[in-house]
């Protein structure tokens, strides 16, 4: 239950607001590369470039070349983008309605480990298919993306930037994320947290 001292909400994106399946992307990479699914998964976890791209440390073109090298494929830019975006399943309109409602009672923020290809796809393809056709940022008082900040969760400095830039007190702030390690990162700074363990948890929690 939401405690009365909470004035600020910080939402993760994938797995909290956006329906996400990394398996869909790994399956697509397996189709492109003809590698076994297990090998595709192992390289996804071990290759540093995926995290570097989330921190904005390589360009879109450099990331595509990294994918080609990692999986030994000669796919086109569009094929790589399509595979990379396959994990983005959509945003339920009820969650967007909830965010609009919450903006009337709280300061609402987005803090996402993401990348330019994903954000562009969300704004250019996923959201235009919904009734309001609004950019993702407009559902928050401010949106923060790891690739623009050159930082990523669960590191303390990314949370500190959001707190400092908006004069937020940790004890008045609730952070919602589907990764336990990110929850622990926020907790270490005194931020209240909710570990989102099911896709509809935020709808149930806020009685949407």
Residue written as token pair 């397996």: 30
Helices and strands (H, E) in the chain, number of each type? 11, 7
**Which pLDDT band holds residue 128 (cuts at 50, 70, 90)?**
confident
pLDDT of 3 reads: 63
Tell whether the model's pLDDT for residue 133 goes beyond 90.
Answer: no
Q: How far is 119 from 198, CA to CA, in rounded Å?
A: 23
The residue extents of the domains of the chain are 8-19+90-205, 22-85
For every residue of 71-140, DSSP letters joined together read HT----HHHHHHHHHTTEEE--HHHHHHHHHHTTTSEEEEEE---HHHHHHIIIIIGGGSSS---GGGGS
**Which pLDDT band holds residue 97 (cuts at 50, 70, 90)?**
very high
pLDDT of 129 reads: 80
Tokens of 144: 């923060």
Q: What is the pTM of this model?
A: 0.94
Q: Cβ of 12: how many Cβ atoms within 10 Å?
A: 23
Tell whether the model's pLDDT for residue 136 goes beyond 70.
Answer: yes
Q: What percentage of the chain has pLDDT greater than the value 70?
A: 98
Fold equal for 8-19+90-205 and 22-85: no
What's the whole-number mean pLDDT along residues 62-69? 98
pLDDT tens string 171-196: 999 999 999 999 999 999 999 999 99
- The CA radius of gyration of the chain, in Å to the nearest whole number, is 17
- Among 179, 122, 121, smallest CA distance to 153 is for 179
Protein fold of 8-19+90-205: Rossmann fold (3.40.50)
Beta strands 173-177 and 142-145, pairing class: unpaired
**Which pLDDT band holds residue 198 (cuts at 50, 70, 90)?**
very high
Tokens of 90: 């959509």
Protein fold of 22-85: DNA polymerase; domain 1 (1.10.150)
């Amino acid at each position: 239950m939401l405690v009365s001292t909470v004035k600020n909400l910080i939402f993760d994106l994938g797995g909290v607001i956006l329906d996400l399946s990394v398996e869909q992307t790994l399956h697509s990479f397996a189709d492109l590369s003809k590698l076994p699914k297990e090998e595709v998964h192992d390289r996804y976890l071990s290759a540093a470039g995926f995290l570097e791209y989330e921190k904005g440390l390589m360009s879109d073109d450099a990331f595509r070349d990294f994918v080609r090298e990692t999986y030994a494929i000669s796919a086109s830019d569009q094929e790589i983008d399509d595979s990379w975006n396959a994990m983005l399943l959509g945003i339920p309109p009820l969650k967007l309605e909830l965010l609009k409602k919450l903006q009337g009672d709280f300061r609402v923020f987005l803090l996402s480990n993401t990348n330019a290809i994903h954000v562009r796809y969300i704004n250019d393809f996923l959201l235009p298919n919904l009734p309001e056709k609004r950019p993702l940022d407009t559902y928050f008082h401010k949106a923060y993306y790891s690739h623009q900040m050159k930082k990523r969760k669960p590191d303390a400095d990314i949370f500190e930037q959001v707190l400092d830039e908006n004069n937020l007190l940790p004890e008045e702030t609730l952070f919602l994320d589907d990764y336990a390690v990110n929850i622990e990162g926020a907790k270490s700074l005194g931020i209240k947290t909710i570990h989102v363990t099911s896709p509809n948890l935020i709808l149930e929690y806020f009685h949407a």
